[in-house]
Amino acid sequence: MAGMSGKRLQKELAKIQGVLPPGISLVSAEDLREWQMDLIVPDNPIYPPDEKYRLRFHFSTNYPIEAPEVVFMLLSTPERKIPMHPHIYSNGIICLDLLDKQGWSPVHNVESVCISIQSMLASNTKAERPPGDAEFVRSNRSRPRDINFLYHDPTV
Amino acid sequence: MKVTFTAYHAVAEWKWDLPEDSDDTCGICRVQFEGTCAKCKYPGDDCPIMIGECTHCFHMHCISDWLHSESSQGKCPMCRQPFNQKVAEAPAAPLRTPGGVAAGS
Protein backbone atom coordinates (compact mmCIF):
# COMPACT_ATOMS: atom_id res chain seq x y z
CA MET A 1 0.00 0.00 0.00
CA ALA A 2 1.46 3.28 -1.10
CA GLY A 3 1.60 6.60 0.65
CA MET A 4 2.40 7.50 4.16
CA SER A 5 0.17 4.97 5.88
CA GLY A 6 2.04 1.78 5.00
CA LYS A 7 5.18 2.34 7.01
CA ARG A 8 3.40 3.79 9.96
CA LEU A 9 0.85 0.94 10.07
CA GLN A 10 3.60 -1.63 9.80
CA LYS A 11 5.25 -0.09 12.85
CA GLU A 12 1.99 -0.04 14.77
CA LEU A 13 1.27 -3.63 13.82
CA ALA A 14 4.67 -4.80 15.01
CA LYS A 15 4.06 -3.10 18.34
CA ILE A 16 0.49 -4.37 18.67
CA GLN A 17 1.54 -7.95 17.98
CA GLY A 18 3.65 -7.64 21.12
CA VAL A 19 1.90 -6.21 24.13
CA LEU A 20 -1.56 -4.67 24.28
CA PRO A 21 -3.46 -3.22 27.23
CA PRO A 22 -5.82 -5.65 29.03
CA GLY A 23 -9.10 -6.32 27.24
CA ILE A 24 -7.82 -5.23 23.82
CA SER A 25 -6.76 -7.77 21.21
CA LEU A 26 -5.88 -7.85 17.55
CA VAL A 27 -8.11 -10.10 15.45
CA SER A 28 -6.80 -9.45 11.96
CA ALA A 29 -4.75 -6.99 9.96
CA GLU A 30 -4.58 -8.75 6.65
CA ASP A 31 -3.68 -6.06 4.19
CA LEU A 32 -2.91 -3.09 6.45
CA ARG A 33 -5.96 -1.29 5.10
CA GLU A 34 -8.44 -2.92 7.38
CA TRP A 35 -7.86 -4.15 10.89
CA GLN A 36 -10.20 -5.78 13.33
CA MET A 37 -9.81 -5.51 17.07
CA ASP A 38 -11.77 -7.11 19.91
CA LEU A 39 -12.59 -5.20 23.08
CA ILE A 40 -13.67 -6.33 26.51
CA VAL A 41 -15.09 -3.77 28.91
CA PRO A 42 -14.02 -4.36 32.48
CA ASP A 43 -16.02 -3.40 35.56
CA ASN A 44 -19.24 -2.22 34.01
CA PRO A 45 -22.41 -4.28 34.55
CA ILE A 46 -23.84 -2.94 31.25
CA TYR A 47 -21.22 -5.01 29.41
CA PRO A 48 -20.82 -8.62 30.58
CA PRO A 49 -17.12 -9.36 31.13
CA ASP A 50 -17.30 -12.38 28.79
CA GLU A 51 -18.74 -10.34 25.93
CA LYS A 52 -16.37 -9.10 23.25
CA TYR A 53 -17.04 -6.25 20.88
CA ARG A 54 -15.48 -6.12 17.43
CA LEU A 55 -14.07 -2.89 16.04
CA ARG A 56 -13.22 -2.45 12.38
CA PHE A 57 -10.56 0.10 11.47
CA HIS A 58 -10.33 1.28 7.91
CA PHE A 59 -7.28 3.33 6.94
CA SER A 60 -6.92 5.61 3.96
CA THR A 61 -3.51 5.98 2.32
CA ASN A 62 -3.35 9.32 4.06
CA TYR A 63 -3.40 7.87 7.56
CA PRO A 64 -2.37 9.19 10.09
CA ILE A 65 -2.99 12.63 8.60
CA GLU A 66 -6.55 11.45 8.08
CA ALA A 67 -8.44 9.69 10.87
CA PRO A 68 -9.21 6.00 10.41
CA GLU A 69 -12.83 5.00 10.01
CA VAL A 70 -13.74 3.04 13.13
CA VAL A 71 -17.03 1.20 13.58
CA PHE A 72 -18.39 -1.65 15.67
CA MET A 73 -19.30 -4.80 13.74
CA LEU A 74 -22.35 -7.00 14.19
CA LEU A 75 -21.38 -10.66 13.75
CA SER A 76 -23.06 -13.99 14.39
CA THR A 77 -20.03 -16.31 14.52
CA PRO A 78 -18.36 -15.49 16.73
CA GLU A 79 -21.15 -13.48 18.23
CA ARG A 80 -20.33 -9.80 18.40
CA LYS A 81 -23.01 -7.32 19.37
CA ILE A 82 -23.00 -3.56 19.01
CA PRO A 83 -22.47 -2.26 22.55
CA MET A 84 -25.27 -0.17 24.00
CA HIS A 85 -24.11 3.40 24.46
CA PRO A 86 -25.72 6.83 23.96
CA HIS A 87 -23.01 7.62 21.38
CA ILE A 88 -23.05 4.32 19.49
CA TYR A 89 -25.71 3.79 16.85
CA SER A 90 -27.16 0.33 16.34
CA ASN A 91 -25.40 0.10 12.94
CA GLY A 92 -22.06 0.34 14.72
CA ILE A 93 -21.25 3.97 13.94
CA ILE A 94 -19.52 5.68 16.83
CA CYS A 95 -19.87 9.34 17.64
CA LEU A 96 -16.56 10.18 19.27
CA ASP A 97 -14.74 13.48 18.87
CA LEU A 98 -11.30 12.00 18.33
CA LEU A 99 -12.56 10.09 15.29
CA ASP A 100 -13.97 13.06 13.44
CA LYS A 101 -12.26 15.78 11.46
CA GLN A 102 -12.28 18.25 14.31
CA GLY A 103 -10.96 15.98 17.01
CA TRP A 104 -8.45 13.77 15.22
CA SER A 105 -4.70 14.20 15.68
CA PRO A 106 -2.05 12.17 13.86
CA VAL A 107 -0.39 11.31 17.16
CA HIS A 108 -3.32 9.01 17.90
CA ASN A 109 -2.93 5.41 16.86
CA VAL A 110 -4.90 2.16 16.84
CA GLU A 111 -4.00 1.42 20.43
CA SER A 112 -4.92 4.87 21.74
CA VAL A 113 -8.22 4.82 19.82
CA CYS A 114 -9.05 1.39 21.30
CA ILE A 115 -8.21 2.65 24.78
CA SER A 116 -10.45 5.72 24.31
CA ILE A 117 -13.37 3.62 23.09
CA GLN A 118 -12.85 1.08 25.86
CA SER A 119 -12.87 3.81 28.49
CA MET A 120 -15.88 5.50 26.90
CA LEU A 121 -17.72 2.18 27.41
CA ALA A 122 -16.27 1.56 30.86
CA SER A 123 -17.54 4.88 32.17
CA ASN A 124 -20.98 4.61 30.56
CA THR A 125 -23.99 4.50 32.85
CA LYS A 126 -26.81 4.42 30.29
CA ALA A 127 -27.73 1.25 28.38
CA GLU A 128 -29.35 3.21 25.58
CA ARG A 129 -28.91 4.26 21.95
CA PRO A 130 -28.45 7.84 20.76
CA PRO A 131 -31.64 9.84 20.25
CA GLY A 132 -32.94 9.31 16.70
CA ASP A 133 -31.09 6.00 16.33
CA ALA A 134 -33.77 4.26 14.27
CA GLU A 135 -34.10 7.16 11.86
CA PHE A 136 -30.35 7.57 11.52
CA VAL A 137 -29.76 3.89 10.86
CA ARG A 138 -32.54 3.84 8.26
CA SER A 139 -31.52 6.96 6.40
CA ASN A 140 -27.77 7.37 6.79
CA ARG A 141 -25.76 6.79 3.61
CA SER A 142 -22.70 8.83 4.57
CA ARG A 143 -19.43 7.38 5.67
CA PRO A 144 -18.83 7.93 9.37
CA ARG A 145 -16.17 10.60 8.81
CA ASP A 146 -18.51 12.66 6.66
CA ILE A 147 -21.23 12.83 9.25
CA ASN A 148 -21.43 15.94 11.33
CA PHE A 149 -22.52 14.63 14.66
CA LEU A 150 -24.20 16.92 17.08
CA TYR A 151 -22.51 16.56 20.40
CA HIS A 152 -25.77 17.09 22.14
CA ASP A 153 -24.64 15.75 25.47
CA PRO A 154 -20.95 16.10 26.18
CA THR A 155 -21.39 14.67 29.68
CA VAL A 156 -21.87 11.13 28.41
CA MET B 1 25.95 -7.62 -6.67
CA LYS B 2 25.06 -8.35 -3.11
CA VAL B 3 27.29 -6.99 -0.38
CA THR B 4 27.18 -8.20 3.18
CA PHE B 5 28.71 -6.07 5.91
CA THR B 6 30.58 -8.07 8.44
CA ALA B 7 31.73 -5.11 10.53
CA TYR B 8 31.86 -1.34 10.42
CA HIS B 9 33.62 1.37 12.38
CA ALA B 10 31.58 4.48 13.02
CA VAL B 11 33.81 7.54 12.86
CA ALA B 12 31.16 10.13 13.53
CA GLU B 13 27.50 10.36 14.30
CA TRP B 14 25.08 13.22 14.12
CA LYS B 15 21.94 14.23 15.93
CA TRP B 16 19.50 17.06 15.46
CA ASP B 17 19.82 19.80 18.00
CA LEU B 18 16.34 19.56 19.50
CA PRO B 19 14.81 21.00 22.67
CA GLU B 20 16.02 19.10 25.68
CA ASP B 21 13.05 16.96 26.64
CA SER B 22 12.04 16.06 23.09
CA ASP B 23 10.98 12.56 22.14
CA ASP B 24 13.29 10.51 19.94
CA THR B 25 10.63 9.90 17.33
CA CYS B 26 8.30 11.98 15.23
CA GLY B 27 4.78 11.61 16.65
CA ILE B 28 3.26 11.60 13.18
CA CYS B 29 5.27 8.92 11.34
CA ARG B 30 6.77 7.27 14.46
CA VAL B 31 10.22 7.20 12.91
CA GLN B 32 13.26 8.56 14.75
CA PHE B 33 14.04 12.17 13.99
CA GLU B 34 17.42 11.08 12.64
CA GLY B 35 15.61 8.78 10.23
CA THR B 36 13.37 9.95 7.41
CA CYS B 37 9.70 10.71 7.13
CA ALA B 38 7.59 8.18 5.24
CA LYS B 39 8.29 9.85 1.92
CA CYS B 40 12.03 10.52 2.01
CA LYS B 41 14.88 8.22 1.22
CA TYR B 42 17.78 10.07 2.80
CA PRO B 43 17.92 11.43 6.34
CA GLY B 44 19.57 14.68 7.34
CA ASP B 45 19.28 17.90 5.41
CA ASP B 46 16.92 16.30 2.88
CA CYS B 47 14.41 15.51 5.60
CA PRO B 48 14.75 18.22 8.24
CA ILE B 49 12.97 18.75 11.52
CA MET B 50 10.60 21.54 12.32
CA ILE B 51 10.37 22.79 15.89
CA GLY B 52 7.22 24.55 17.03
CA GLU B 53 6.94 27.46 19.42
CA CYS B 54 5.32 24.91 21.70
CA THR B 55 8.67 22.99 21.53
CA HIS B 56 7.08 19.97 19.84
CA CYS B 57 9.14 18.62 16.96
CA PHE B 58 8.22 16.73 13.81
CA HIS B 59 9.79 15.86 10.50
CA MET B 60 9.14 18.94 8.41
CA HIS B 61 7.37 16.88 5.74
CA CYS B 62 5.12 15.19 8.30
CA ILE B 63 4.01 18.36 10.05
CA SER B 64 3.52 20.16 6.78
CA ASP B 65 1.27 17.36 5.48
CA TRP B 66 -0.71 17.68 8.69
CA LEU B 67 -0.94 21.47 8.59
CA HIS B 68 -2.14 21.32 4.99
CA SER B 69 -4.93 18.93 5.91
CA GLU B 70 -8.35 20.24 6.66
CA SER B 71 -8.53 18.59 10.08
CA SER B 72 -5.46 20.27 11.51
CA GLN B 73 -6.89 23.77 11.80
CA GLY B 74 -3.27 24.83 12.06
CA LYS B 75 -2.83 23.15 15.40
CA CYS B 76 0.05 21.14 16.86
CA PRO B 77 -0.89 17.43 16.90
CA MET B 78 0.53 17.11 20.40
CA CYS B 79 -0.83 20.07 22.33
CA ARG B 80 -3.40 21.59 19.94
CA GLN B 81 -1.90 25.03 20.26
CA PRO B 82 -1.56 26.90 16.96
CA PHE B 83 1.58 25.45 15.38
CA ASN B 84 4.14 28.12 14.53
CA GLN B 85 7.68 27.39 13.63
CA LYS B 86 10.07 28.47 16.31
CA VAL B 87 12.44 31.11 15.05
CA ALA B 88 15.57 32.69 16.57
CA GLU B 89 17.21 29.43 17.52
CA ALA B 90 17.96 28.01 14.08
CA PRO B 91 14.56 26.84 12.81
CA ALA B 92 15.42 23.52 11.25
CA ALA B 93 18.38 22.92 13.50
CA PRO B 94 21.64 22.39 11.68
CA LEU B 95 23.64 19.26 12.07
CA ARG B 96 25.92 19.36 15.03
CA THR B 97 28.48 17.09 13.47
CA PRO B 98 28.25 16.77 9.77
CA GLY B 99 29.65 13.54 8.51
CA GLY B 100 28.46 10.04 8.44
CA VAL B 101 29.23 6.49 9.11
CA ALA B 102 32.17 4.98 7.37
CA ALA B 103 31.73 1.43 6.30
CA GLY B 104 34.62 -0.95 6.60
CA SER B 105 35.39 -3.17 3.67
Q: Which domains, from first to last, does chain A contain?
A: 5-138 (3.10.110.10)
Mean pLDDT of A134-150: 80
pTM of the predicted protein model: 0.84
Mean pLDDT of B31-49: 93
ipTM above 0.85, yes or no: no
Mean pLDDT of B34-45: 92
pLDDT digits (tens, 9 = 90+) for A46-61: 999 999 999 999 999 9
Return the CATH architecture of domain B18-89: 2-Layer Sandwich (3.30)
Nearest beta carbon to residue B77 from set A66, A101, A106? A106
- Chain B residues with CB-CB distance to A11 below 8 A: 30-31
Mean pLDDT of A55-83: 96
Catalytic residues of A: 95
- For the range A143-152, what are the long-range contacts, defined as Cβ-Cβ under 8 Å and sequence gap of 24 or more? A143/A69, A144/A69, A144/A70, A144/A71, A144/A93, A144/A94, A144/A99, A145/A66, A145/A67, A145/A69, A145/A99, A145/A100, A145/A101, A147/A93, A147/A100, A148/A100, A149/A95, A149/A100, A151/A95, A151/A97
In the predicted model, is pLDDT for residue A155 greater than 80? no
